[in-house]
């Protein structure tokens, strides 16, 4: 069992994925972070003893911020906050997404700007390390004051209420699960309920896990594009490094280098159309460096923003013990994440769109020397006719999903919270767009491999051959019509979702860039 040490800083996308996907990874908090939390908590307790009034510590919340709460009622205040704010609805987040949220929440509290006891973080980590995962509804957050509703469901489980995923995969009573596992619920003290729910850890957790998948998808897009280019007897000339040097967007040069690695300088297929007289390929082939590259540049910015957010203090108020200050602020507002989630969704929508364009070219004999719809006996067989239709449907769905959530805002809490980010909606949309894009690229792989077979005995370039050979280990050439949905599902499950296709191609041609 390996260990992940949370310090309140330095948590990466890859680190969070380890926490999310590997319950055997033990998560701990560093000694330095523990000291920072201790100092912060001591400061808050001293202020309470002095009789100071502090928002969320001994006042009501939101529009009730002017209501003073007696010291005797502080624990009830925190418990009531969690209960009342647990108003989420909809299908629950996955266990992996919830583990990511828990890791992020622990990491931000470990920074020592929230004034909570170290025991709060210890309880989150106890749940994580024993794989006790709360059931968190996916809808109900407007992304400021943070992800209040979903994070409240997380906190609700910590205090022994709400629901936890049972060993049978069904929601179970938190009280019963904790009793059975011998885990004591957390008893909230001053400010701790508020500190558990102020922040953007839901949208950030969903976004970080999706961003890692998106990175792999962008490498797969280069592979699928190269496969289609060979199937369409396209040219490599548009990927000459001289071209990218004149327009120095990093992603464009990376993509051109990736394509040349996969395609090599030539192949039997490319040699077969030397001197054919074709001057230029369609944009969906020729412009892959520009389009795929722009998506890579976008994702790197998204990735950077998410990692900044993962290692930020997002509470309100924030505690600065050394400076003797408790400051009300807006660090819980999800706008930095919301904008990037919308940007990421738009980028992947574009990648799926250009992929569908290549499928369309593969099935259209006006743009290739291939039989219509890639069907060897067209008419009797429909071939990949509806594979392209299904891809077009997903691309069109992505266009709807790509409308930015972050441009919307609805005032909440009697207009006290008058501008919100809708960042969690943006993150959920990004993940859905990503899933659709993965399926479209899987369909392109299916059609591209069919095209390669139809060019036999001509052989493709080494990188393309590596992808083609792997595909053919599980999905044979379609001599006649069959249920192509099964082929798509097999390719996705075995080679795309687990990144095996990218790994095999990289083993053949070397590392690909993003």
- Tokens 């299908």, residue? 91
Report yes or no: 450 and 471 within 8 Å, Cβ to Cβ: no
Contact 388, 112 (CB under 8 A): no
Helix axis angle, 423-454 to 484-491, nearest 10°: 110
**Distance between CA atoms of residues 260 and 350, nearest Å:** 22
Residue 89 has a CB neighbour count (10 Å cut-off) of 9
Cβ pair 406, 336 in contact under 8 A:
no
Report, in angstroms and rounded to the nearest whole number, the Rg of the chain calculated over CA atoms.
26
- Catalytic annotation on 55? yes
Strand pairing category for 163-165 and 171-173: antiparallel
**Which one from 55, 283, 468, 492 is the annotated catalytic residue?**
55
Q: Report the largest interatomic distance among the alpha carbons of the chain, rounded to a whole angstrom.
A: 88
H helix runs in 246-372, sequence order: 250-263, 268-272, 283-286, 288-310, 335-363
Inter-CA distances, 115 with 27, 467, 504, Å: 21, 53, 49
Query: Is the C-alpha dihedral spanning 204, 205, 209, 210 positive or negative?
Result: negative
Structural element, H or E, at residue 27? strand 26-29
Query: Rounded to whole angstroms, how far apart are CA atoms 289 and 238?
Result: 8
- Please tell me whether residue 381 adopts helix, strand or coil conformation: strand
- Residues marked active site are found at 55
């Amino acid at each position: 069992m390996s260990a992940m040490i949370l310090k309140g800083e330095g948590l990466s996308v890859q680190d969070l994925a380890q926490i999310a996907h590997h319950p055997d990874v033990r998560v701990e908090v560093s000694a330095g972070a523990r000291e920072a939390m201790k100092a912060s908590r001591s400061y808050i307790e001293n202020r309470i003893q002095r009789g100071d009034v502090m928002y969320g510590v001994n006042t009501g919340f939101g529009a009730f911020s002017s209501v003073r709460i007696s010291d005797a009622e502080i624990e009830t205040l925190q418990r009531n906050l969690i209960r009342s704010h647990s108003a989420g609805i909809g299908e629950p987040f996955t266990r992996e997404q919830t583990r990511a949220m828990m890791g992020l929440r622990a990491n931000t509290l470990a920074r020592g700007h929230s004034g909570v006891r170290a025991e709060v973080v210890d309880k989150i980590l106890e749940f994580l390390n024993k794989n006790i995962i709360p059931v968190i509804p996916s809808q109900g957050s407007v992304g400021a004051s943070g992800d209040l509703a979903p994070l409240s469901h997380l906190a609700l489980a910590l205090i022994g209420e709400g629901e936890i995923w049972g060993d049978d995969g069904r929601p179970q009573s938190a009280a019963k699960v904790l009793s059975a596992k011998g885990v004591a619920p957390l008893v909230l003290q001053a400010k701790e309920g508020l500190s558990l729910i102020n922040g953007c850890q839901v949208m950030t957790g969903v976004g970080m896990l999706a961003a890692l998948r998106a990175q792999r998808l962008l490498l797969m897009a280069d592979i699928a594009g190269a496969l289609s280019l060979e199937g369409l007897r396209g040219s490599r000339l548009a990927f000459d490094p001289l071209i990218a040097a004149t327009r120095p967007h990093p992603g464009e040069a990376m993509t051109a280098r990736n394509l040349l690695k996969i395609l090599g300088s030539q192949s039997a297929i490319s040699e077969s159309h030397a001197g054919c007289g074709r001057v230029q390929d369609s944009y969906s082939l020729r412009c892959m460096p520009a389009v795929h590259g722009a998506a890579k540049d976008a994702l790197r910015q998204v990735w950077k923003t998410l990692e900044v957010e993962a290692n930020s203090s997002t509470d309100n108020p924030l505690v600065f013990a050394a400076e003797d200050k408790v400051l009300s602020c807006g660090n819980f507002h999800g706008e930095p994440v919301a904008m990037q989630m919308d940007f990421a969704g738009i980028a992947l929508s574009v990648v799926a769109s250009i992929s569908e364009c290549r499928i369309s070219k593969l099935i259209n004999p006006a743009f290739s020397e291939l039989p219509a719809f890639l069907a060897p006996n067209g008419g009797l067989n429909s071939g990949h006719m509806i594979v392209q239709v299904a891809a077009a449907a997903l691309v069109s769905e992505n266009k709807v999903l790509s409308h930015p959530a972050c441009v919307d805002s609805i005032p909440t809490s009697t207009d006290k919270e008058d501008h919100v980010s809708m960042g969690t909606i943006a993150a959920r949309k990004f993940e859905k767009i990503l899933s659709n894009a993965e399926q479209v690229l899987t369909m392109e792989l299916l059609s591209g491999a069919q095209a390669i077979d139809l060019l036999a005995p001509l052989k493709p370039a080494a990188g393309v051959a590596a992808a083609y050979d792997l595909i053919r280990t599980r999905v044979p050439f379609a001599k006649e019509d069959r249920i192509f949905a099964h082929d798509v599902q097999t390719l996705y499950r075995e080679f795309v979702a687990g990144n095996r296709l990218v790994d095999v191609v990289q083993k053949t041609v070397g590392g690909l860039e993003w």
